[in-house]
Amino acid sequence: MVTGDAAWREAARAVLAANDRGGYTVPTARLYPFQWNWDSAFVAMGFATWDCDRALTELERLAQGQWPDGMIPHIVFHRPSETYFPGPDVWGTESRRRAGGPATSGLTQPPVFATALRFVWEAMPDSARRERRERAAGLYRAALAWHRWWIGARDPAETGLVAVLHNWETGSDNSPAWDAALARVPTTTSTPIRRQDTGHVDAAMRPRDVDYQRYIHLVDTYRAAGWDPERQWAVAPFKVADVQTTAILARATEDLAALSSALGDDREAAELRDMGRRLCAGLMRQWRPALGRFVGHDLMVGRDIETATHAGFVPLLALDLDESTCAAATAEMTRWLAEVRLGLPTVPRSSPDFEARRYWRGPVWAVVNWLLILGLHRNGRLDLAERLRAGTLAAIERAGFAEHFDPLTGEGGGGSSFSWTAAAYLVLTELDPRRDHFPR
Ligand code: DGY
């Protein structure tokens, strides 16, 4: 069943078409003029609502940037653009990249890729699957290599939680969850900072200059370490075991295991199931009943990060919670929703960190709500899921395909004609809570 307005669905497809640069989709013109990793995974699911070939191509173009060690970078610079900093010249990743491959950044991003691949695969009728099996199997192998990289490079102590070495790797760039950890990162940089983002959108909606100094200090540090995972791990001044990234990886691992019967083999299925179990156990240890949320862990100081952000609920995506845990998490989400006109916000209004318009410090993001909706479906909370779904669609229909939305006014913020917001509209208007597109 398709809900939502036909004209808006057409408009969503038009956004994806306008941001298509020939097989890959930019998040939005000028502000993000290259291919971004998790954006493209969401976008592939959006394309799959009407064009599975194009959806596969989106993932294939992203996988062109994959490094020989399995890492899929957070940006693939297929073509030059002058409207973004830090562009390809800043990263210095040549020695790690595949010879002849496109230029890339040196960081990674939340691994939604395998979840997207499963979505696209299951959206295809049998005949289409037969014809596209080789392409899908190539993407399955790319995802498998990347998941192995995550476990080896980002959880060397086998804790069941994967770590990020840069806040950009979480996709939630300036979330207050990183404030304390970033405050320890020096502001000195060897790369001159030439911000372009604040020329495209209101600076009040973006990270501050001092934040960028720290972001680029981290880039300089890892470039000096040759982007080698072990050396990076050793020199990292920022190392956070993130529950959002781990939950996305755990869900994607389950999705990849489900694909292994069609696209892989039994040994890989067993390996992936084991990987998924360890990630879920790692997540479960981060549940804090008193907070009604999951919390991250700052590995530099050995302390939990209790800052209230949406990330604390993303583990529902991968976990089958018991009744009392699920009730506590959903009660907390409901409290956050009661404080705003539109939700779920990235930071609760009652938090001292809340800023209604600044990027990941309060605004509502359609893809975050999409992940939370899937988590609520998984855990049988269909009413709350429907509230988030209806709220997200209404926000888009009121303010357009904005990058994010003010939770108090519903006003759109950041970039406009945003690809993943359009993809969210297309998928959420088709979402069937009984199937979820991800049967288990
Ligand atoms: C940016 O430049 O704002 C990006 O989010 C980094 O990936």
52 CA to centre of ligand 1 in angstroms: 28
User: Cβ neighbours of residue 271 under 8 Å, at least 6 residues apart?
Assistant: none
Which residue, by CA, sits nearest to atom 4 of ligand 1? 168
- Reduce the secondary structure of the chain to three states and give it as a string: CCCCCHHHHHHHHHHHHHHECCCCECCECCCECCEEHHHHHHHHHHHCCCCHHHHHHHHHHHHCCCCCCCCCECEEECCCCCCCCCCHHHHCCHHHCCCCCCEECCCECCCCHHHHHHHHHHHCCHHHHHHHHHHHHHHHHHHHHHHHHHHHHHCCCCCCCCEECCHHHHCCCCCHHHHHHHHCCCCCCCCCCCCCHHHHCCHHHCCCHHHHHHHHHHHHHHHHCCCCHHHHHHHCCCCEECHHHHHHHHHHHHHHHHHHHHHCCHHHHHHHHHHHHHHHHHHHCCEECCCCEECEEECCCCEEECCCCHHHHHHHHCCCCCHHHHHHHHHHHHHHHHCCCCCCCCCCCCCCCCCCCCCCCCCECHHHHHHHHHHHHHCCCHHHHHHHHHHHHHHHHHHCCCCEECCCCCCEECCCCCHHHHHHHHHHCCCCCCCCCCCC
Q: Rounded to a whole number, what is the distance in angstroms from the first to the last CA of the chain?
A: 20
* pLDDT above 70: percentage of residues in the chain: 97
Cα separation, 167 vs 288, whole angstroms: 23
Would you say 183 and 240 are in contact if contact means Cβ atoms under 8 Å apart? Answer: no
Residue-level pLDDT at 434:
61
36 CA to centre of ligand 1 in angstroms: 9
354 CA to centre of ligand 1 in angstroms: 20
Residue-level pLDDT at 439:
40
Closest ligand 1 atom, residue 75 Cα: 7
Would you say 413 and 363 are in contact if contact means Cβ atoms under 8 Å apart? Answer: yes
Q: Is the pLDDT of residue 122 over 50?
A: yes
Which residue, by CA, sits nearest to atom 7 of ligand 1? 168
Mean pLDDT over the full length of the chain: 96
Residue-level pLDDT at 435:
60
Which residue, by CA, sits nearest to atom 6 of ligand 1? 168
Q: Is the pLDDT of residue 51 over 50?
A: yes
Give me the mean pLDDT over the 280-292 stretch.
98
204-254, pLDDT tens digit by residue?
999 999 999 999 999 999 999 999 999 999 999 999 999 999 999 999 999
Question: How buried is residue 75: exposed, middle or buried, by Cβ count under 10 Å (0-12/13-18/19+)?
Answer: buried
Tokens 């084991």: give the residue.
Answer: 274
Ligand 1 pocket test: pick from 107, 168, 169 the residue with the most ligand atoms within 8 Å of its Cβ. 168
User: Cβ neighbours of residue 106 under 8 Å, at least 6 residues apart?
Assistant: 73, 91, 92, 93, 96, 219, 222, 223, 227
224 CA to centre of ligand 1 in angstroms: 21
337-349, pLDDT tens digit by residue?
999 999 999 999 9
Ligand 1 pocket test: pick from 166, 170, 173 the residue with the most ligand atoms within 8 Å of its Cβ. 173
Q: Is the pLDDT of residue 1 over 80?
A: no
pLDDT band (50, 70, 90) for residue 432: confident
Residue-level pLDDT at 436:
58
User: Cβ neighbours of residue 364 under 8 Å, at least 6 residues apart?
Assistant: 340, 342, 343, 344, 345, 346, 392, 395, 404, 405, 406, 407
Binding pocket residue ranges, ligand 1, CB within 6 Å? 74, 168, 173, 197
Closest ligand 1 atom, residue 109 Cα: 7
Q: Is the pLDDT of residue 174 over 60?
A: yes
168 CA to centre of ligand 1 in angstroms: 6
Closest ligand 1 atom, residue 206 Cα: 3
Cα separation, 424 vs 298, whole angstroms: 31
Active-site residue 406, yes or no? no
Active-site residue 403, yes or no? yes
Residue-level pLDDT at 440:
36
Closest ligand 1 atom, residue 85 Cα: 2
**Which of 173, 220, 397, 436 is flagged as catalytic?**
173
Give me the mean pLDDT over the 96-106 stretch.
97
Give me the mean pLDDT over the 269-277 stretch.
98
Closest ligand 1 atom, residue 74 Cα: 7
User: Cβ neighbours of residue 25 under 8 Å, at least 6 residues apart?
Assistant: 16, 19, 35, 39, 40, 43, 58, 419
24 CA to centre of ligand 1 in angstroms: 17
Q: Is the pLDDT of residue 437 over 50?
A: no
Question: How far, CA to CA in Å, does 79 sit from each of 30, 82, 195, 353, 387?
Answer: 13, 10, 19, 37, 40
* pLDDT above 90: percentage of residues in the chain: 96
Cα separation, 211 vs 197, whole angstroms: 13
Residue-level pLDDT at 73:
98
338 CA to centre of ligand 1 in angstroms: 30
Reading phi first (left if > 0) and then psi (alpha if -120 to 50, else beta), residue 331 is in: alpha
Ligand 1 pocket test: pick from 26, 28, 31, 32 the residue with the most ligand atoms within 8 Å of its Cβ. 32
Q: Is the pLDDT of residue 5 over 90?
A: no
311-336, pLDDT tens digit by residue?
999 999 999 999 999 999 999 999 99
Residue-level pLDDT at 431:
85
Name residue 375's amino acid.
G
User: Cβ neighbours of residue 181 under 8 Å, at least 6 residues apart?
Assistant: 238, 240, 298, 300, 305
237-251, pLDDT tens digit by residue?
999 999 999 999 999
